[in-house]
């Protein structure tokens, strides 16, 4: 039916039905909150412009010389961006540095030599005579750290101890490993690019498998769980006695040490109970699991009927990534506007002093930043819900298929921004406030550790953090279902949240079974895609083309690009799984609304009806 999807509004007389398009039911909601959001964005824009004008991120990490000047930033050292520690003495085989009075220099010694290539002496830094005393002491060879610090070069063994003194770390070996890691990742860019596209293809393949064989996959997952729990329990039971003499038992607490055998046998029993529990759930809820699998297949059908939905995760990830970078950059600029009250004297450490207005500005910046990011997530969830609702309310055609408009993604974004910005901003504001409160509690915990380190305060803050985290999870769950309700009914946020909670209670059994199935598929899919990306990257970067030291794509440490590829694969997989989860929840919610309003649900897939009714009976009918 293209863009004219309809569902039937049923009054007291069920024979008289009025067709009302889903799109025409939407009107503006929560206008005051929309105005508040726009006002907050306007004030935030002014603050961001001020940060761009007054801030300088270099104040956060540039070196500070013995006069308290920031290298490369303050007027007198604007042309000297590097920090250098002067040698107080330098004889054959030894090097002593003045660690308390570093200076700013234009270049790190060692880039060009003052003498023959074999010489270890470099041009004299005149200011070193001021801070160190001896005249005519040549510079030593350095390496650049973080693009701003001249540290003793690690190729000369006598300098490693000096590098350690500067940073408090074994910088000689640590720097080499870090540089190998940083060099390996860019060198492996062809593999990482290929893995990124491969993860997208695997996401499509996995959804295609779910579309046609969700039930075998979930039974396979349950069977593997039973076998895994059983074998792990058997292993612990068989090796319980041997565990007492193992090296690992020496690291156990005193109360546990000596009771290893009993603890291992109890753990084995727990795993066997879990295996039995999985078998019990499979037997008692066999019909419900089959119905949930059918619903999963329906959700995948909906996604493949609307291919634009599968582009949504990539668009959202790119947009949110760029937005997060912009917001983080602005926060660092704002933070850099504070005064440096206590330079550490070593050139590295510094302490910032904030005024009352700056504290208020930082809190406001955090609230609005979290608000913007939460709003993007809310709009994304609304778009997925609206598209799934359009699919649900589209009648089946003669071929028993649903014909959904190809521009559903654009239509959903248009509806969300034009009519429901206020409602989406309302829900996202709750998340933003809780996230800001989390950060404030974390800051309080940090300050408590730095000062009094009171165990009572630590316990109170820990309890507060747990409560806030729990509240945030609950609000996120309610918000997701509220956005689904808004996409279907065009309620304001408060009414939608109330209806969502009522619907969760009404469909509790069916929703729990469906969410359990989607959770299994999400974990299984994310794990497979992540491990496949990591394995392919490791094998590819271990090949001679990348292992050869003369290759332009030489990878020193294959584990570094492997970790990046696994992260890429995991994020891509989660984006695909989130679309799948949101679609299945929306389809179930639509049928719940039909049941609540007395409609026949004639556009509902048969699998949804079977799931809801099997959920009412708890198992087989």
How is 230-249 classified by DSSP, letter by letter?
HHHHHHHHHTHHHHTTSGGG
Tokens of 8: 């039937």
The mean pLDDT of 104-127, rounded to a whole number, is 57
pLDDT surpasses 90 at 38: yes
Q: At what angle do helices 508-541 and 606-617 cross, to 10 degrees?
A: 120
What does the radius of gyration of the chain's CA atoms come to, in whole angstroms?
31
User: Which of the four pLDDT bands, split at 50, 70 and 90, describes residue 67?
Assistant: confident
Beta carbons within 10 angstroms of residue 107's beta carbon:
15
**Closest C-alpha among 76, 65, 126, 125 to residue 100:** 65
Burial classification of residue 202, based on how many CB atoms lie within 10 Å of its CB (0-12 exposed, 13-18 middle, 19 or more buried) = buried
Instruction: Return the top range by mean pLDDT from 83-97, 517-531, 590-604.
Output: 517-531
Q: Write the DSSP string, 372-395.
A: HHHHHHHHHHHHHHHHHHHHHHSP
pLDDT surpasses 70 at 93: no
The mean pLDDT of 603-611, rounded to a whole number, is 68
| C-beta separation of 308 from 579 below 8 A | no
Structural domain boundaries in the chain? 31-55+190-341+352-617, 75-169
Strand 82-84 relative to strand 149-152, pairing: parallel
Beta carbons within 10 angstroms of residue 339's beta carbon:
11
Tokens of 200: 């997208």
| C-beta separation of 347 from 63 below 8 A | yes
Tokens of 427: 């829900």
In the chain, what percentage of residues exceed pLDDT 70? Answer: 72
The mean pLDDT of 477-491, rounded to a whole number, is 93
d(C-alpha 472, C-alpha 476), whole Å: 6
d(C-alpha 552, C-alpha 545), whole Å: 9
Tokens of 575: 């984006």
Quick: pLDDT tens for 440-453: 998 888 888 877 77
Q: Is 70 helix (H, G, I), strand (E, B) or coil?
A: strand
Quick: pLDDT tens for 541-595: 777 766 665 555 666 667 777 788 888 888 888 878 888 788 888 888 888 888 7
Quick: pLDDT tens for 608-620: 677 666 644 444 4
Quick: pLDDT tens for 153-178: 755 554 555 555 555 544 444 444 44
Model pLDDT, residue 126: 64
pLDDT surpasses 70 at 211: yes
pTM: 0.75
Strand 142-145 relative to strand 149-152, pairing: antiparallel
Q: Is 525 helix (H, G, I), strand (E, B) or coil?
A: helix
Instruction: Return the top range by mean pLDDT from 70-79, 215-224, 504-513.
Output: 70-79
d(C-alpha 570, C-alpha 527), whole Å: 8
């Amino acid at each position: 039916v293209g863009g004219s999807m309809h569902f039937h509004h049923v009054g007291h007389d069920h024979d008289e039905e009025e067709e009302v398009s889903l799109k025409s039911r939407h009107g503006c909601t929560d206008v005051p909150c929309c105005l508040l959001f726009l006002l907050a964005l306007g004030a935030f824009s002014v603050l961001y412009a001020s940060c761009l004008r007054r801030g300088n991120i270099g104040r956060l990490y540039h070196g500070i010389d013995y006069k308290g000047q920031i290298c490369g930033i303050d007027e007198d050292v604007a042309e000297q961006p590097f920090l250098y520690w002067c040698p107080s003495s330098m004889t054959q085989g030894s090097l002593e540095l003045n660690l308390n009075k570093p200076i700013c220099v234009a270049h790190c010694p060692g880039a060009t030599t003052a003498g023959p290539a074999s010489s270890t002496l470099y041009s004299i830094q005149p200011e070193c005579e001021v801070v160190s005393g001896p005249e005519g002491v040549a510079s030593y060879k350095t390496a650049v750290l973080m693009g701003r610090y001249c540290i003793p070069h690690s190729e000369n063994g006598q300098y490693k101890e000096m590098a350690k003194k500067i940073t408090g770390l074994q910088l000689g070996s640590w720097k080499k490993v870090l540089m190998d890691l940083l060099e390996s990742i860019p060198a492996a860019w062809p593999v990482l690019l290929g893995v990124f596209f491969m993860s997208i293809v695997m996401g499509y393949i996995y959804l295609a498998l779910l579309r046609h064989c969700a039930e075998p996959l979930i039974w396979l997952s349950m069977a593997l769980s039973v076998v895994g729990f059983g074998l792990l329990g058997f292993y612990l039971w068989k090796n319980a006695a041997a565990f007492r003499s193992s090296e690992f038992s020496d690291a156990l607490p005193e109360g546990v040490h000596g009771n290893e055998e009993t603890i291992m046998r109890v753990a084995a029993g727990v795993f066997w109970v879990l295996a039995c529990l999985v078998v019990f759930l499979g037997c008692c809820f066999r019909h419900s699991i089959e119905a949930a699998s059918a619903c999963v297949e329906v959700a995948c059908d909906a996604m493949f009927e609307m291919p634009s939905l599968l582009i949504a995760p990539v668009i959202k990830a790119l947009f949110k990534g760029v937005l997060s970078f912009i917001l983080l950059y602005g926060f660092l600029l704002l933070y850099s506007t504070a005064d440096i009250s206590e330079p550490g004297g070593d050139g590295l450490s510094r302490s910032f002093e904030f005024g009352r207005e700056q504290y208020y500005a930082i809190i406001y910046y955090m609230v609005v930043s979290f608000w913007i990011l939460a709003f993007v997530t809310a709009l994304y969830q609304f778009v997925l819900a609206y598209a799934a609702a359009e699919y649900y309310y589209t009648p089946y055609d003669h071929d028993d298929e649903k014909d959904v408009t190809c521009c559903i993604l654009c239509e959903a974004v248009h509806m969300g921004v034009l009519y429901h910005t206020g409602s989406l901003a309302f829900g996202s504001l709750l998340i933003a406030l809780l996230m800001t409160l989390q950060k404030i509690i974390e800051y309080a915990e940090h300050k408590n550790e730095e000062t009094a380190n009171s165990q009572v305060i630590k316990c109170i803050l820990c309890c507060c953090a747990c409560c806030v985290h729990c509240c945030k999870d609950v609000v996120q769950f309610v918000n997701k279902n509220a956005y689904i309700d808004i996409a279907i009914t065009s309620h304001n946020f408060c009414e939608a949240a109330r209806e969502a909670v009522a619907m969760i209670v009404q469909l509790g059994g069916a929703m729990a079974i469906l969410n359990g199935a989607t959770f299994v598929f999400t974990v299984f899919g994310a794990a497979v895609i992540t491990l496949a990306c990591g394995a392919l990257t490791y094998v590819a970067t271990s090949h001679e083309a990348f292992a050869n030291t003369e290759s332009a794509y030489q990878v020193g440490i294959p584990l570094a690009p492997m970790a990046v590829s696994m992260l890429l694969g995991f994020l891509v997989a989660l984006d695909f799984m989130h679309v799948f989860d949101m679609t299945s929840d929306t389809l179930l919610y639509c049928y719940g609304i039909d049941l609540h309003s007395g409609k026949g649900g004639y556009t509902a897939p048969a699998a949804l009806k079977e799931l809801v009714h099997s959920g009412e009976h708890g198992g087989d009918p």
